[in-house]
Structure 1
Amino acid sequence: MERTEPPGHHDIPSPPAFPPRAATAVDLRVGKRLLWVDGAAYPLENVTRVYTYTLTPRRKEATLLFVKRVGIILSVAFALTILGGLTSIANEGAGGTILTFVWLGALAALAFSIVELVSVLTASSQYVLAVETSGPSIAMVTSADPRQLDQLVGSIVQAIENPEVEFQVRVDRLMVNPRNYYFGDNVNMYGGTGNVGVAHG
């Protein structure tokens, strides 16, 4: 039996299905004078600064560190090779096995250094919002759209100035290796595994 629509009815598309919640999804909310980032609570009266900036990878430092490591690794390897060569001459070839281990160790150290360098060189810059407190802690959020962070700055500032303000936004956790990035001023980050920021969803 064919279904008829009432007069004046227009076909309204059904709302898109929400994507499944990722395991890293968390809430950022303000309520009862507390700023919550997942399970971490920051009293609003302890917030000393809210600002945005671009978190950039330490590419120059990573490159210099890589060059320094290569120099040290090769210097040690060549020094041990020369020493092993002299030892093998004195002991009639007994140092060959030691030299093999020396160069295998050097190659492993070089491979590790290359991986660390590539991880920094390929890391992308992140536009972030930072919430600093009077204690040695900081909460960070990031977004592909800088305007979202600018609006979030305004919302947090309004909540600081007006005790009755409450809000909640959806965020995604973003793991950041602190050694790979500049963190603006000298900032100590505490809590979580490594330094954890959240991406505004």
Structure 2
Amino acid sequence: MPDVPPPARTAPPATVELRVSKRLLWIGSAVYPLHNIARVHTFLLRPRRKEAVLRFLRYAAGTLLVAFVAMLPGLPSLAFEGPESGAAGYVAWVWILAAGVVVWFFIEMMSVLTATPHHVLAVETSAASTGVVTSQDPRYLERLVGQISYAIEHPDTEFRVTVERLTVSPNHYYFGDNVNMYGGNGNVGISG
């Protein structure tokens, strides 16, 4: 009797170890000195749905415009020689290629529209780096914010937990706060 493979299972989410040890915060293999952490917070990471639709419309319109311009050289011979001319094949290929490109942009848009929001914990440093992890339970992330904040104030604190690794395209999600600034010549983003 042949061996029967086990039934397929969905893979558990990729996990990463988050730990504080010797004044360092480790998120997997990334290391953040606790004294360089400027902010630890949780938020709901939402997909950029509006931008995805607008980008699709812009790219689709541009593709169709380019296809129309690319088709123009074949139109005179198509008009004089009829559909049996070589120009008919050229025009057909231009539109097939354009349709394929528009379908590609549509699939890209749908990947953003169907993306789910994620509860995340973000660790921002005084430099430009940010560490982001997620969990199905937002309360767990809130507790981690408290633990990391406590570790920043108490140098002897050490702990280790497992969180889920977040792998998303930054182009498809809103990261951080939205700030609208009006005026302010020479503003470098520092408030006093």
TM over 0.5: yes
**2:93 pairs with one of 95, 101, 104:** 101
Residue type matched to 2:48 in 1?
R
Q: Which structure 1 residue ranges, 4+ long, deviate > 6 Å from structure 2?
A: none
Which TM-score applies when normalising by structure 2? 0.79
Residue by residue, what CA displacement relative to the aligned partner does 1:3-37 show, whole Å, maximum 9, x if unpaired? xxxxxxxxxxxxxxxxxx96833211000111101
Quote the Cα distance in structure 2 between the aligned partners of 1:23 and 1:62: 26
1:159 to 1:38, Cα distance in 2 relative to 1, 3 A? same
- 1:56-135 counterparts in 2 under 5 A? 56-89=46-79, 93-135=85-127
> Which residue does 1:172 correspond to in 2?
164
Residue by residue, what CA displacement relative to the aligned partner does 1:68-104 show, whole Å, maximum 9, x if unpaired? 1121112222232333212445788332332232122
Which range is displaced more, 78-87 or 175-184?
Answer: 78-87
Quote the Cα distance in structure 2 between the aligned partners of 1:151 and 1:42: 19
Highest CA radius of gyration, 1 or 2? 1
Q: Secondary structure, in 3 states, of the residue corresponding to 2:166? A: strand
Q: How many residues align?
A: 166
Aligned-residue CA RMSD (Å): 2.1
- 1:1-201 counterparts in 2 under 5 A? 24-89=14-79, 93-185=85-177
Q: Secondary structure, in 3 states, of the residue corresponding to 1:57? A: coil
Residue by residue, what CA displacement relative to the aligned partner does 1:113-155 show, whole Å, maximum 9, x if unpaired? 1111110000111111110011111001212211111100000
Residue type matched to 1:76 in 2?
V
Quote the Cα distance in structure 2 between the aligned partners of 1:65 and 1:150: 34
1:22 to 1:53, Cα distance in 2 relative to 1, 3 A? closer
Quote the Cα distance in structure 1 between the aligned partners of 2:33 and 2:128: 13
1:23 to 1:151, Cα distance in 2 relative to 1, 3 A? closer
Q: Report if the CA contact (8 A) 2:56-2:105 is conserved.
A: yes
RCO higher in structure (CA 8 A, sep ≥6): 2
Q: Secondary structure, in 3 states, of the residue corresponding to 1:175? A: coil
Unaligned runs of 5+ in 1: 1-20, 187-201
Quote the Cα distance in structure 1 between the aligned partners of 2:111 and 2:156: 44
Q: Secondary structure, in 3 states, of the residue corresponding to 1:141? A: strand
Which range is displaced more, 112-121 or 65-74?
Answer: 65-74
Q: Secondary structure, in 3 states, of the residue corresponding to 1:30? A: strand
Quote the Cα distance in structure 1 between the aligned partners of 2:110 and 2:176: 22
Unaligned runs of 5+ in 2: 1-10, 179-192
